Structure 1
Amino acid sequence: MTPASTARIVDATLAADETAVVAGIWRRAWASAHYDVQVLEPIGHWRARVEAEFRPPNELLLAEREGQILAFMGLQAARRYVAQLYVDTHLQGQGLGRMMLDEACRRMPGGWRLHVATVNLAAQAIYARYGLVRGAADRHPGTGRARVEYHYLPR
């Protein structure tokens, strides 16, 4: 039995302790994907981002099991955009990312897009296997880090 087979997706309004959990998942998974980063921002940076970026009209979805947060996804449905999608590092490869992508398709059936860091080859492989179409490369407007856009186009 995988975490994805026993998890459920819920819309979240975070309590303070949940903000810390989401920030921890984000920081760990981001660091794992950005192996080239020399200095990782402290957890307070990630907590502040969670509090700032997951407010209406943005949606925060959690994959959870028995009250434990396993993964999260931030949606900007009006822009048809998946802003963030992270699975805790020890749970990666167990279907949670696919579960979150399925939910994005359900909530934005007309199609959507996301960006991923060019150094994050594992996520790019997942998106390609899922059927997302690779788009243009550019740089993140805030950090300057190289990234590539992927699109979900309904059939």
Structure 2
Amino acid sequence: MFVRTASERDLAAVRALLVETWHATYDAIYGVERVTEITDDWHSIASLKARMARPNSEFLVADDGKVIGGMAYAAATSDPKLVMLHQLYVHPSFQGKGIGKMLLDEIADSFPDARTLRLEVEAANTAALAFYRANGFVQAGETANCGGPQSGIPAMVLEKALD
């Protein structure tokens, strides 16, 4: 796998990856119906296209030339020293192969002025928590609205200092 900037032609494959990964990860936590609602909203082609067009952001895919095995999306905040990692997902069949680390490293490199990388993660997503902790993230707080102002989804806020 190699990491590259996503293009519009990747969006259908990215959406498919996100839907499958979300169901594999969150069905047991939120239920199939709620996960479908979330993925239909947050991971629609229109939502993904809007992220891709956002200034001061980076939308990446991990690609082996045949399949997209992972994706990441981050954007600068109003504070140029703080970057928010909004998405980092690796397809279940590719997890544990270093793809998440490659995506995380490339996101950090994409924002040379940033000093802190922040993200929100569901506390019950133990695999994600273990991944982020192994990569230097520590808990910095909590939110009642992960992913959006009215989501009603609680999450832990994790941060990592960047060099």
Which TM bucket (shorter chain)?
A: 0.7 to 0.9
Higher RCO (C-alpha under 8 Å, 6+ residues apart): 1
Matching residue within 6, 11, 36 for 1:19? 11
Task: Give the gaps of 5 or more residues in structure 2.
Answer: none
Instruction: Work out whether 1:31 is the aligned partner of 2:30.
Output: no
What is the TM-score normalised by the length of structure 1? 0.84
Is 1:146–2:154 an aligned residue pair? Answer: yes
Shift of 1:44: 4.9
| Residue number among 51, 56, 65 corresponding to 2:49 in the alignment | 51
Aligned-residue offset at 1:111: 2.2
Structural RMSD (CA): 1.9
Amino acid at match of 1:41: T
- Cα displacement string for residues 37-69 of structure 1 (whole angstroms, at most 9, x for unaligned residues): 221326754323323333221321111112421
Indicate the larger mover: 77-86 or 144-153: 77-86
The TM-score, its normalising length taken from structure 2, stands at 0.80
Given that 2:58 and 2:107 are in contact with CA atoms closer than 8 Å, whether structure 1 keeps it comes out as no
Instruction: Give the alignment partner of residue 120 of structure 1, picking from 117, 125, 138.
Output: 125
Which residue identity lines up with residue 71 of structure 2 in the other structure? F
Instruction: Report the count of equivalent residues.
Output: 147
Deviates more, 1:65-74 or 1:36-45: 36-45
Q: Residue in 2 aligned with 1:96?
A: 99
